[in-house]
Structure 1
């Protein structure tokens, strides 16, 4: 098949492009300099010229709690425009297969865990990433409407748990938790700092999956798209506390210092664990353990640091 992958330069996109079961297909991967997803007409022209059989949408403006809280307007508008433009253009050009990669931020805050797909829109969102979540919800619902109202169109959504891995962003202010903590502890080792601050009390729980596992799930979906549920969680089915993530990274980086807690800082939802019953029934599960994933991510980070020197 000819498959258009949006966001091919991001962490998820790059992991997709490292999966041989995906790259055996004819892959279209235009950079943002070639295709501006914020411009609907540019997308229409591109799809008319290239005629893909399938679209995998993983482009987006992403960041951690600090970045989301600081720039809610752009997190909403840019993510909503990119997704809505792409879905609408795909529908108008008769592209029958569309896989939308969403986010677990679309689930209600502090809701019943594990989070089932039917819990979408059942309660208020987490305020620290509300703009991003609303944008992702809009795209998810568009895909549902098209699949329901237009026979032959299969527009489906994966809701992955939190991700980390190769090609992640290692920036304490703008990245997600695991890469930010890797950099924080690495800097503490290099600078021989005796203490590292953790936001909150460390008891909040998160489900982080290595990004190459998501790529393997997408590869299976490409080959079995008719069997993919309309909306499906993709995750581990279990989680760890923030303290456990810090301790695992501390061990791998051989940091000898201690942790202190800043309970005045925001931590987001206390728990965000996905229910993976649909995923299990569909017949897929991740393969990379937390220790393996963090070790591989750390090795990638070391290369990233050396490139910056």
Structure 2
């Protein structure tokens, strides 16, 4: 008999990529959207978990957004994400669910380190102010997983810390989109309107590490298959980064636009660099397969289909 797997955040990019991955075929999957299960409601979460009795849980839900959304809504990013994480972990413990894969964020790392971010660096310094609320919520959930294992050693609760993600089912709304989704939308619009320039926030020299969401979905599902092979906290990334300007240039080449980049120095840019150390991931034996060019090409195709609907 196939085991039951519960994936939170069913409408999100990470969950949507997992739901279409062939590794999921061996599971009976439940993946409620926020309208079906409000993860902020502890009673609703506990009742749902007790009723469905999953063998394993992947916590991929979250209120997410780019710099602008984080700056404008810090209370919501802190409160909602903390409530969801606390309720999911508590329900897993109460329902005696032995396996939980918690999806965290590289926002948890201190702002001053920049590169070579190892899992031990978490909580070693001040956070980036533009996404501090979101980061604190993810840290709380990670710590809950660690404390649960400390108290009940039969539990296998693991936290995966991905670099920035992009891909199909990303958000392209101006108020919610992350960097690569925003770049693809801007350059697509510039091409469609024959515009000769696009605006970039800051000087474009900040560096970011991006992984195609379908690759991350594979890593999560492989972790669910044999969680004892991974540590309690593990970075998942590509191990190298590009400047914002380079991402614009790569996207422009893929999309087929040859205009100019105009820098708006009045806009916030966040951390100067955020590059994960993926030593634990490499030791585990996994590495993402999709190149940045192929990933942007697939995401651009998805965006065009989305616009055509």
Q: 1:181 aligns with which of 180, 183, 187?
A: 183
Return 51-60 or 33-42, whichever deviates more.
33-42
Contact 1:163 1:209 in 2 (8 A): yes
Across the aligned residues of Structure 1 and Structure 2, the Cα RMSD in angstroms comes to 0.9
Q: How far has the Cα of 1:172 moved from its partner?
A: 2.5
Q: What is the aligned partner in structure 1 of residue 61 from structure 2?
A: 59
Helix, strand or coil for the counterpart of 1:304? helix
Q: What is the aligned partner in structure 2 of residue 195 from structure 1?
A: 197
Output the TM-score relative to the length of structure 2: 0.98
Contact 1:171 1:183 in 2 (8 A): no
Q: How far has the Cα of 1:276 moved from its partner?
A: 0.3
Contact 1:172 1:181 in 2 (8 A): no
1:93-139 deviation line (CA, Å, top 9, x unaligned): 11111100000000000215210000000000000000000000000
Return 221-230 or 99-108, whichever deviates more.
221-230
Output the TM-score relative to the length of structure 1: 0.98
Helix, strand or coil for the counterpart of 2:170? coil
> 5+ unaligned residues in a row in structure 1: which ranges?
none
Structure 1 runs (4+) greater than 2 angstroms displaced: none
Q: How far has the Cα of 1:223 moved from its partner?
A: 1.3
Q: What is the aligned partner in structure 1 of residue 291 from structure 2?
A: 289
Q: After the TM superposition, which residues 104-123 of structure 1 pair with which residues of structure 2 at under 5 Å, given as runs?
A: 104-123=106-125
Provide the rounded CA distance (Å) in 2 between the counterparts of 1:133 and 1:98.
20
Aligned length: 307
Provide the rounded CA distance (Å) in 2 between the counterparts of 1:46 and 1:173.
32
Provide the rounded CA distance (Å) in 2 between the counterparts of 1:300 and 1:54.
30
Q: What is the aligned partner in structure 1 of residue 128 from structure 2?
A: 126
Provide the rounded CA distance (Å) in 2 between the counterparts of 1:86 and 1:175.
26
> 5+ unaligned residues in a row in structure 2: which ranges?
none
Q: What is the aligned partner in structure 1 of residue 35 from structure 2?
A: 33
Provide the rounded CA distance (Å) in 1 between the counterparts of 2:258 and 2:101.
44
Q: How far has the Cα of 1:61 moved from its partner?
A: 0.3
Helix, strand or coil for the counterpart of 1:62? coil
Helix, strand or coil for the counterpart of 1:255? coil
Q: What is the aligned partner in structure 2 of residue 78 from structure 1?
A: 80
Contact 2:206 2:271 in 1 (8 A): yes
Helix, strand or coil for the counterpart of 2:198? strand
Helix, strand or coil for the counterpart of 1:158? strand
Return 189-198 or 230-239, whichever deviates more.
189-198
1:177-235 deviation line (CA, Å, top 9, x unaligned): 10111111111111111211111111110000000000110121111111111000000
Q: After the TM superposition, which residues 1-309 of structure 1 pair with which residues of structure 2 at under 5 Å, given as runs?
A: 1-307=3-309
Provide the rounded CA distance (Å) in 2 between the counterparts of 1:182 and 1:234.
23
